[in-house]
């Protein structure tokens, strides 16, 4: 696959004058230096998007007239509000916008500032709508950047315009601002010293979280494989192998015991194995995407089948791990390898044509910019990844957080999920470049152009039952994009749509309040239905999707339960190496 991926990369410019050396390296160094300053965001891509928007808008008198009329109407509505005309508020925030939920925002003068800001948002939403002939990605990118700029000047971020901050400041005689300055100083010092975030008290890996009993039974240069100890007298014959994304630490699926998907499965009689990825360094720059398949998933699968020989395996992949699992399953199907019983994909995309707002960061200019930065560093650093994900939800992850910590003087409440989120990982240069180009930029997997070992694979070859989970508020893997798995497979597929986000929707244990999900199964031979039709027809259930998944796994397992297998297999060179959670999870 490495050959197939690298052959389509754009060739380096060659000087026409053979007497002159190539200065391409100098160009890459310059771009890499700029990328470090911008956290990998290409200014060329941003400038091109703004120019495309402005040039089209300048030649659209109809849109200009519309925007002028909207400005006049919005101004009239705001004046009517100020003079007491009308009962209903002219502008309302989006459902996901919680900046103005406090009742104090409904009182003058804060009400007027809130409404004026919402009017600006509405105007800019209309101003950045795509124009005829405009590049759709440029329009979306301009709308995104305009929203980012507006979020920064929201009255909720300005101390004297935010009634909550004013109230706290008066009530505490300014002590909240003193705490906020102290918090700011701590954070600035940590950033300048390049220190990791301080671990949250009460959430220590291996002691408070990631505590499900188990043993590391296999280790190579890329993974540790954890086998969890059984908690029931007998178990299902088929084990479960979980492939987490290497963009995150695996224990998002093994947080506090009451929030642990791993413990939930073990307590219901499943033998669970988990991959724990090593955190790469600059020395690992040349690890390829296919190495994650061969030394990751396939190596783990070999170890699992050595511990439980003669049994098929329920495989489960989360996020990028799910994409890798789909590629692995298709490759195994092509090669006649039938060791998988089922495949489960959690918030994982296989088609990237509508991959959400992350696509705003993916075009040739942006990918080349990122590649030069990673070429210089050897890895995509945790801070640079965090900046991209924060931008997708700047209201929640940036501005609201800053207002809370630096103006109200309140640190983010401690939680196991927040502690996990702060424990970030890196991505090797070569692997991430191949991933961005082959999947995000060129969408080869569903385009019939993704090759493994020199031969193209097809998701349609996967003949085992599949279970896919998407989340309603996912900014990383939008549910409509995840749903496209229906288009590229034709065997049994159970699809679940649960409320929550990319992580909170997956970590959705039974008993979690306000949880629901929709689900339906497509049988072999059923006709395709689009995502919205599916949602209208799918059955709705209250509670956690975990229960539906464990029941589905049980239905696709041998009904005759067995004695739990041994921990590892000493006779096959898989003697336990150390207790879970292992060593790789502690790497920073």
Q: Which residues are catalytic?
A: 319
Token representation of residue 69: 């009329």
Q: How far apart are CA 402 and CA 161, in angstroms?
A: 15
Are 32 and 316 in contact by the 8 Å Cβ rule? The answer is no
* Residue 273, strand partner residues: 227, 241
Question: DSSP character for 464?
Answer: S
Q: How far apart are CA 414 and CA 199, in angstroms?
A: 10
Query: Residue 308: how many CB atoms within 10 A of its CB?
Result: 21
Question: DSSP character for 199?
Answer: P
Are 428 and 379 in contact by the 8 Å Cβ rule? The answer is yes
3-state secondary structure of 277: strand
Are 169 and 387 in contact by the 8 Å Cβ rule? The answer is no
3-state secondary structure of 240: strand
Q: How far apart are CA 32 and CA 25, in angstroms?
A: 10
Shortest CA distance to 368 belongs to which of 421, 436, 468, 313? 436
Q: How far apart are CA 351 and CA 446, in angstroms?
A: 6
Radius of gyration of the chain (CA): 26
Q: How far apart are CA 381 and CA 489, in angstroms?
A: 35
Residue 117 CA, chain-centre distance (Å), reads 30
Which is it for the CA torsion 525, 530, 533, 538, positive or negative? positive
Shortest CA distance to 582 belongs to which of 313, 244, 240, 197? 244
Q: How far apart are CA 588 and CA 576, in angstroms?
A: 24
Q: How far apart are CA 311 and CA 313, in angstroms?
A: 7
Are 548 and 183 in contact by the 8 Å Cβ rule? The answer is no
Q: Give DSSP secondary structure letters for 373-396.
A: HHHHHSEE-HHHHHHHHHHHTHII
Burial of 107 (0-12, 13-18, 19+ CB in 10 A): exposed
């Amino acid at each position: 696959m490495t050959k197939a991926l690298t052959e389509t990369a754009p060739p380096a410019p060659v000087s026409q004058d053979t007497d002159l050396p190539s200065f391409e390296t100098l160009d890459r160094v310059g771009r890499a230096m700029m990328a470090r300053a911008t956290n990998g965001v290409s200014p060329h891509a941003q400038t091109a998007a703004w120019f495309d928007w402005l040039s089209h808008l300048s030649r659209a008198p109809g849109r200009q007239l519309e925007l002028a009329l909207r400005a006049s109407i919005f101004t009239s509505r705001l004046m009517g509000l100020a003079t007491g005309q009308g009962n209903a508020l002219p502008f309302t925030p989006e459902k996901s916008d919680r900046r103005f939920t406090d009742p104090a925002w409904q009182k003058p003068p804060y009400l007027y500032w809130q409404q004026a800001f919402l009017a600006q948002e509405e105007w800019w939403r209309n101003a950045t709508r795509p124009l005829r002939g405009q590049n759709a990605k440029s329009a979306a990118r301009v709308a995104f950047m305009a929203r980012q700029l507006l979020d920064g000047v929201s009255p909720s971020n300005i101390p004297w315009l935010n009634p909550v901050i004013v109230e706290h400041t008066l009530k505490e005689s300014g002590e909240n601002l003193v705490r906020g300055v102290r918090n700011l100083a701590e954070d600035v010092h940590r950033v300048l010293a390049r220190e990791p975030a301080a671990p949250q008290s009460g959430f220590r890996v291996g002691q408070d979280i990631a505590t499900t009993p188990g043993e590391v039974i296999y280790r190579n240069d890329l993974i540790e494989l954890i086998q969890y100890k059984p908690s029931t007298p007998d178990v299902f014959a088929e084990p479960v192998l979980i492939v987490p994304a290497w963009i995150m630490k695996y224990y998002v699926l093994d947080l506090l015991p009451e929030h642990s998907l791993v413990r939930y499965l073990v307590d219901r009689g499943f033998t669970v194995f988990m991959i724990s990825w090593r955190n790469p360094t600059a020395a690992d720059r040349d690890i390829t995407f296919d190495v994650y398949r061969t030394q990751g998933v396939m190596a783990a699968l070999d170890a699992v089948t050595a511990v439980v020989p003669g049994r098929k395996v329920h495989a489960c992949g989360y996020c990028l791990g799910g994409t890798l699992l789909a590629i692995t399953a298709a490759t195994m199907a092509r090669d006649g390898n039938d060791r998988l019983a089922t495949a489960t994909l959690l918030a994982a995309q296989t088609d990237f044509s509508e991959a959400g707002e992350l696509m705003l960061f993916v075009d040739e200019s942006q990918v080349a910019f990122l590649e030069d930065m990673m070429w210089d560093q050897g890895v995509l650093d945790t801070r640079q990844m965090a900046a991209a994900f924060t931008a997708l939800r700047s209201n929640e992850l940036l501005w609201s957080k800053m207002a809370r910590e630096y103006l109200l003087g309140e640190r983010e409440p401690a939680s196991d999920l927040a502690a996990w989120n702060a424990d970030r990982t890196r991505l090797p240069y070569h692997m991430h470049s191949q991933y961005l180009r082959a999947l995000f930029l060129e969408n080869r997997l569903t385009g019939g152009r993704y090759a493994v070992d020199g031969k193209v694979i097809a998701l349609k070859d996967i003949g085992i039952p599949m279970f896919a989970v998407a989340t309603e508020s996912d900014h990383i893997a939008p549910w409509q994009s995840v749903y496209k798995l229906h288009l590229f497979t034709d065997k049994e597929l159970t699809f679940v749509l649960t409320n929550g986000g990319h992580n909170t929707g997956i970590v959705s244990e039974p008993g979690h309040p306000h949880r629901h999900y929709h689900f339906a199964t497509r049988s072999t031979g059923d006709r395709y239905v689009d995502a919205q039709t599916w949602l209208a027809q799918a059955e709705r259930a209250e509670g956690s999707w975990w229960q539906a998944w464990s029941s589905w796994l049980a239905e696709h397992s041998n009904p005759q339960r067995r004695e739990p297998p041994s921990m590892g297999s000493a006779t096959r060179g898989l003697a336990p190496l150390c207790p879970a959670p292992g060593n790789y999870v502690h790497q920073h």
